Amino acid sequence: MIYREKLKIMREAENYLQPISYNKEYKIALGFPNIYKIGMASLGFQIVWALLNQNPKVSCERFFLPEDETEPLTVESQRSIKSMSAIAFCVAFEMDYINILKILSRAKIPLLRQERDEDTPLIFVGGAITLINPFALSEFVDFFILGDGEEILDWVESILVRDNSKDQKLKLLSESPYIYVPKYPKDFYQKHIVKDLSPYLCHSLITTPYGEFGDTILFEISRGCGRGCRFCAAGHIQKPFRLRKPIIGENLPLYHSYGIVGAAVFDNPYSKDLCKKIVEEGAKFSLSSIRLETIDEEKLLLMKRGNIKTVTIAPEAGTERLREFIGKKCQDETIFNAIDLSYNEGFRKFKLYFMIGLPGETEEDIKGIINLITILSVKYPKAHFTPSCGSFVPKPHTRYENCPMDNEKSLKSKLDIIKKALNKHKNIEVSFESPRMAKVQAILSRADETLGRDYLLWAFEKGWTEAGREYRERIDKVLYDIEKSEFVWSKLKV
Ligand code: SF4
């Protein structure tokens, strides 16, 4: 089926919770640099789309990366993104950077900003990723919005709609400390923080059966995290921790299914009452993960009534020593108690997140992951355990931004040890992210303007492996030989 037809079908299946007018003069195409299914499951993307459409002079249409090699078109009117007045991207993961290049290329837009003329739409980027390291993308993007979109987007739109040249608009935008315009660089940038989120939309306005989480309203229960684990980028860049209070029938519509978005959902004291209300209304809900120490019988019962089938927890490291070291203070006993309580409440599926390659990690910590999961699998033979092992990426702005990354060979061998020891048990299935892809993620989160440009262009033409080979020396400098590197991201105060 051709992409245009496919988009029409997806559009017809969408349910709008609020009418939106698309007849306004200034047109922005807002893209999520991944496929429709993933993009529509991003609450940040959905909220930015709603915010952009609030401006009386602006219509914002969505677009995604087509699954085939075709030109990206907007969902709402299936028009070319090149014909729009401006193009925005909402970016949540470094691995999607390459998809921005694919989208621009398929839309026949020059990849490098300096090669675009006055007729090419201005291209800007927002989203969580801009607070980690926007500099790696700076040669492809006209400007970046740093931080929360609420409040500032309206000001950005007021400049975009003016009858000025692209350059005049960029100059005006560069006057804000929260906007990074690569053409008009400054010494420092700040992130924009909305202290009180209560006046703003907290939920998605479009539901679709074609989204990753199915036909669900996503809503935000909190932004940031109050825990401050040393390794965690989300916890550091989204400070301060802000609680929200969605109320069904008031600022949250009544629906049959909800996806609750927040770093540690039950750290919001109000969330338990809200989950109660959801199940009393006969609806179901899902949660990303639950903090081990907040698990109790009452919450487990609510999760069961809310139709949650899997208990997902994140011990992160295999031993108490390493957990303490990385700021995730959690005893083995807490993990065993949480699983025991969940099992007694009838849960049989457990997903546990771990990281390998953490600073201070020893062989004992790898054995610790194996021991922990083996004990659980023997104690609960009727349960199914999925330990998910990610490779640690030392992200900018965290307490470990100065730490070298563990190398690919070492990560691979640790992963092999874990897989070999655990996959022989029938009720364990190790899931993992390839260390090679974690390395790509690390490069993109730490690259400066020139390495970001060169590495991405090479990867776009020839693939990640070739790009890694071509720029090996420069990559080693940002990943392993860190004392000699200058951190480009220190210009950004988060
Ligand atoms: S790892 Fe989880 S609990 Fe820790 S700071 Fe990050 S989001 Fe918060």
Q: Is the CB of 228 under 6 A from ligand 1?
A: yes
Q: Which of 434, 466, 483 is the last residue of a domain?
A: 434
Please tell me whether residue 435 adopts helix, strand or coil conformation: helix
Residue 484 has pLDDT above 70, yes or no: no
Which atom of ligand 1 is least distant from the CA of 225? Answer: 8
Q: In ligand 1, which atom is closest to the CA atom of 264?
A: 3
Partners of residue 428 on adjacent β-strands = 385
Ligand 1 centroid distance, CA of 228 (Å): 6
The mean per-residue pLDDT over the stretch 311-334 comes to 96
Residue 490 belongs to a domain: no
Ligand 1 atom 2 nearest Cα = 263
Q: Quick check: CB of 232 below 6 Å from ligand 1?
A: yes
Give the whole-number percent of the chain exceeding pLDDT 70: 99
235 CB within 6 A, ligand 1: yes
- The 8-class DSSP code of residue 19 comes to -
Do residues 225 and 150 share a domain? no
Between 217 and 294, name the one with better pLDDT: 217
Return mean pLDDT, the chain: 96
Residue 307 and residue 284 in contact, taking contact as beta carbons nearer than 8 Å: yes
Q: What spacing in Å lies between the alpha carbon of 229 and ligand 1's midpoint?
A: 6
| Torsion over CA: 233, 237, 240, 244 (sign) | negative
Query: How many separate domains does the chain show?
Result: 3
Q: Are residues 149 and 227 in the same domain?
A: no
Atom of ligand 1 nearest to the CA of 291: 3
Nearest-atom number in ligand 1 for the CA of 232 is 6
Residues 177 and 249 placed together within one structural domain of the fold? no
Domain end, chosen from 308, 334, 366, is at: 308
Domain limit, last residue, from 286, 308, 330: 308
Q: List C-alpha distances in Å: 429 to 90, 215, 378, 404, 418.
A: 33, 28, 14, 30, 11
Q: How far away, in angstroms, is 88 Cα from ligand 1 center? A: 29
d(CA 31, CA 42): 11
Please write the tens of the pLDDT for every residue from 81-106.
999 999 999 999 999 999 999 999 99
Determine the pLDDT at residue 485.
65
User: For ligand 1, atom 4, which residue shows the shortest CA distance?
Assistant: 229
The per-residue pLDDT for 444 is 98
Spatial separation of the C-alpha atoms in residues 405 and 482, rounded to whole Å: 9
Dump pLDDT digits (tens) for 191-231. 999 999 999 999 999 999 999 999 999 999 999 998 989 99
Q: Looking at residues 360-384, what average pLDDT do you find? A: 98
Mean pLDDT for the stretch of residues 472-486: 86
**Contact between residue 369 and residue 387 where contact means Cβ atoms under 8 Å apart:** yes
Residue 383: count of CB within 10 angstroms of its CB: 18
Task: Specify if 235 maps to a domain.
Answer: yes
Q: Is the CB of residue 452 less than 8 Å from the CB of residue 432?
A: no
Please check whether residues 340 and 282 belong to one and the same domain.
no
- Do 89 and 111 fall into the same domain? yes
pLDDT at 325 over 90: yes
CATH number where 322 lies: 3.30.750.200
Residue 356 has pLDDT above 90, yes or no: yes
Dump pLDDT digits (tens) for 58-67.
999 999 999 9
Residue 77 within any structural domain of the chain: yes
Range of the domain at 367: 309-434
- State whether the beta carbon of 264 lies less than 6 angstroms from ligand 1: yes
Q: Mapping DSSP to helix (H, G, I), strand (E, B) and coil, where does residue 354 land?
A: strand
Residue 161, number of CB atoms within 10 A of its CB: 19
Ligand 1 pocket: which of 231, 232, 261 to mutate (most atoms within 8 A of CB): 232
175/221 same-domain check: no
Q: Is the pLDDT of residue 296 over 70?
A: yes
Instruction: Tell me, in angstroms, the distance from the centre of ligand 1 to residue 479's CA.
Output: 23
Closest CA to 211 of 13, 474, 380, 75: 13
Structural domain contains residue 328? yes
Of ligand 1's listed atoms, the one at least distance from the Cα of 267 is: 3
Amino acid at 187: D
Q: What is the CATH number of the domain that holds 222?
A: 3.30.750.210
Q: Is residue 174 domain-shared with residue 292, that is, in the same domain?
A: no
Q: Are 63 and 72 in contact (CB under 8 A)?
A: yes
Give me the pLDDT at residue 346, please: 97
Residue ID of nearest Cα to ligand 1 atom 3: 227
Ligand 1 atom index nearest CA of 316: 1
Query: Per-residue pLDDT averaged across 168-184, rounded?
Result: 98
- Whether pLDDT at 425 is above 70: yes
Query: Looking at the predicted structure, is the pLDDT value of residue 181 above 90?
Result: yes
Same domain, 179 and 224: no
Question: In the 3-class helix/strand/coil scheme, how is 42-92 assigned residue by residue?
Answer: CHHHHHHHHHHHCCCCEEEEEEECCCCCCCCEECCCCCEHHHCCEEEEECC
Beta carbon of 225 within 6 Å of any ligand 1 atom: yes
2 class by beta-carbon count within 10 Å (0-12 exposed, 13-18 middle, 19+ buried): exposed
- Assigned domain for 278 exists: yes
Q: Is residue 134 part of a domain?
A: yes
Percent of the chain's residues with pLDDT above 90? 94
Cα Rg of the chain (Å, integer): 23
C-alpha distance from residue 348 to each of 223, 290, 384, 424 (Å): 30, 16, 6, 19
Q: pTM of the entire structure? A: 0.96
CATH number where 96 lies: 3.40.50
In terms of domains, do 283 and 341 share one? no
For ligand 1, say whether the CB of 227 is within 6 Å of any of its atoms: yes
Which ligand 1 atom is at minimum distance from the Cα of 236? 5
Q: Is 443 among the domain residues?
A: no
Which among 89, 63, 86, 110 is positioned nearest to 159, based on CA atoms? 86
Confidence band, pLDDT 50/70/90 cuts, at residue 178: very high
Evaluate whether residue 285 is within a structural domain. yes
Band of the pLDDT at 23, cuts 50, 70, 90?
confident
Residue 328: exposed, middle, or buried by beta-carbon count in 10 A (0-12, 13-18, 19+)?
A: buried
Residues 283, 325: one domain? no
| Cβ(128) – ligand 1 distance below 6 Å | no
Q: Both 63 and 175 in a single domain?
A: yes
For residues 258-285, average pLDDT: 95
Give me ligand 1 centre to Cα 263, in Å. 6
293 and 375 assigned to the same domain:
no
| Cβ atoms of 376 and 348 closer than 8 Å | no
| Reported confidence tier of residue 382, pLDDT bands at 50, 70, 90 | very high
